[in-house]
Amino acid sequence: MVALPDVTPEVLLATNKSVESMVNAVSRLEMILQSKLSSFNDCLCQPEISQE
């Protein structure tokens, strides 16, 4: 983006805000996933054994 010959400061700021928003969204989703996964840390479930 920065290397484009006709890029304006406004375009760079809009791009920066968009990237920041995306990073924040991904971070929130990762925290949610980590929270869900931590619910199963102490799971005592036994793997199902197939009977053939």
What's the pLDDT tens digit per position in 8-27? 999 999 999 999 999 999 99
Its pTM surpasses 0.75: no
DSSP H helices in the chain: 9-38
Give residue-wise pLDDT tens across range 27-39: 999 999 999 988 8
Using CA atoms, how far residue 33 sits from 20, 27, 40, in Å, is: 20, 10, 12
The number of angstroms, rounded, from the C-alpha of 23 to the middle of its chain's C-alpha atoms is 7
